[in-house]
Structure 1
Amino acid sequence: ILNMGEAYEHTLMVKNECFVYRLPPRPSNRGYRAADWGLDKPMWTGRMRVTTMNGNLTIKLLSNEGELFAEAPVAEYPGVAVESVTDSSRYFILRIINQQGQKAFIGTGFADRGDAFDFNVTLQDHFKRAKTEEIIEQAPVNEPSLDLGLKAGQTFRINIGNSAAKSKPKAKPASTGGLLLPPPPGAAASQPVASNDKSEWGEFSSASDNQWVQF
């Protein structure tokens, strides 16, 4: 991170080797092909650094001694400042701008496919993050939440119990339709039974144990 007065420059990516190519006339009906650039003869070789300051992204091409060769401000990606070629994932077209505001297009790329992948992902992540922050800033302010806390002196009661058991209905006795139920087993044995004994001792059944009947 570099301190540029009150603003800070953040470095998002550094690649120690990248190539720059002079572009042939732009095709009118199709995109650029890296194979047309003469990839074995770059016009410049150096380092690439991707930085941001105050949310603005810039691609800087630097010599090995740190001198600025060219820089490309990028307002969106994909866009006119950075374009992909049609025949390779390792090469791109950059729109560079000098201190006088003059613009030019150059070809750039990497020998390592992984470096090109990192470059692509770095740009995508930056603008995805910027888009998310923009959406958050434009979102309406939420309504103030309700204050559900207890005020001073307020109380509340909680009934803890088995409400299901309380609400369970009592079982009703089975209906007999108004008819008397038969006595339970053994009840007949406890009831007095009239004697119909006509034996010879039957008429003495009412005599007490200490009385005799004389004939």
Structure 2
Amino acid sequence: METDYESVLLVVRECFVYRIPPRTAARGYRAAEWDDLGSSFLWKGRLRVISKGKSCSIRLEDGETGELFAVCPYEIQGNSVEGVLDSSRYFVLKIEHEGRHAFIGMGFQERSDAFDFNVALQDFAKQLRAEEAAENRAVHGSDAPKQDYSLKEGQTINITIGNVGGKRSRPRPAANASNSNTGFVPLIPPPPSAQQVKQQQQQQRQHPF
């Protein structure tokens, strides 16, 4: 049986939680509308982003004891994590507990912490999409119908091969080609016929000198 292990994607030692007013418009949240943003906060502690299999959660814990304050299950498609409109350091988290949920404000003092928080969530989303795409390819590859290339009854295959059975002409050697230059062996003249030999002998008798 395959077991999924927890993987810590990010740890931020200090983050802040705020009460936020109910959302009144679809335009989004603004941190400037939160009560006493600069001087008051509801809770302060550690933030951890943890993945397990195909799930990811944002855990707000006490920095010293590890006691859990709130959990935000992260959903790629949904409103579990929203950035505010007027700052890159503040977010709205949808926390859940025993089937109930609520929205809280969460922020960082350093912009680098907010940047790392965004990157951790984006990396998890990319990895999850890549795994789902690989699973889809594996399923579609196994279920795809196999092509039948066998011949059906009455079917034939015609194959045409060029220059089969045709006459082939040999290249003729040049008249002035030499043995050393072209590599052709000169043809030996045929022997004289019997009639030619008899004529030569008669000529020799008539003209001995």
TM-score tier, shorter chain, comes to 0.5 to 0.7
Q: Distance in 2 between matches of 1:116 and 1:138?
A: 34
TM-score by length of 1: 0.61
Measured against aligned partners, the alpha-carbon deviations of 1:152-171 in whole angstroms (never above 9, x if no partner) come to xxxxxxxxxxxxxxxxx999
SS at match of 1:116: helix
The match for 1:69 is: 69
Q: Distance in 2 between matches of 1:29 and 1:9?
A: 35
Q: Distance in 1 between matches of 2:4 and 2:135?
A: 21
Q: Distance in 2 between matches of 1:141 and 1:119?
A: 37
2:20 to 23, 29, 32: 23
For the structure 1 residues 28 and 10, does the alpha-carbon distance in structure 2 shift closer, same or farther, using more than 3 Å as the test?
Answer: same
Q: Which runs of 5+ in 2 are unaligned?
A: 147-170, 177-209
The code of the aligned residue for 2:81 comes to V
The match for 2:120 is: 122
1:84 aligns with 2:83: yes
What are the residue-to-residue correspondences of 1:1-215 with 2, within 5 Å?
6-37=3-34, 38-40=36-38, 41-64=40-63, 65-76=65-76, 79-98=78-97, 100-139=98-137, 140-141=140-141
SS at match of 2:23: coil
- Residue 56 of structure 1: CA displacement? 0.6
- Residue 30 of structure 1: CA displacement? 1.8
RMSD: 2.3
More helix, by proportion: 2
For the structure 1 residues 171 and 73, does the alpha-carbon distance in structure 2 shift closer, same or farther, using more than 3 Å as the test?
Answer: farther
TM-score by length of 2: 0.63
- Residue 29 of structure 1: CA displacement? 4.2
Q: Distance in 2 between matches of 1:59 and 1:170?
A: 89
Q: Which runs of 5+ in 1 are unaligned?
A: 1-5, 145-168, 175-215
- Residue 83 of structure 1: CA displacement? 0.6
Q: Any runs of at least 4 consecutive aligned residues in structure 1 with deviations exceeding 3 A, and if so which?
A: 169-174
The aligned length equals: 143
Measured against aligned partners, the alpha-carbon deviations of 1:116-160 in whole angstroms (never above 9, x if no partner) come to 00000000010111101111110133899xxxxxxxxxxxxxxxx
The match for 1:211 is: none
The code of the aligned residue for 1:54 comes to G
- Residue 103 of structure 1: CA displacement? 0.3
Give % identity: 48
Q: Which is higher, the Rg of structure 1 or of structure 2?
A: 1
Q: Distance in 2 between matches of 1:173 and 1:120?
A: 87
The code of the aligned residue for 1:25 comes to P
Q: Distance in 1 between matches of 2:9 and 2:131?
A: 18
- Residue 63 of structure 1: CA displacement? 0.9
Q: Distance in 2 between matches of 1:35 and 1:171?
A: 99
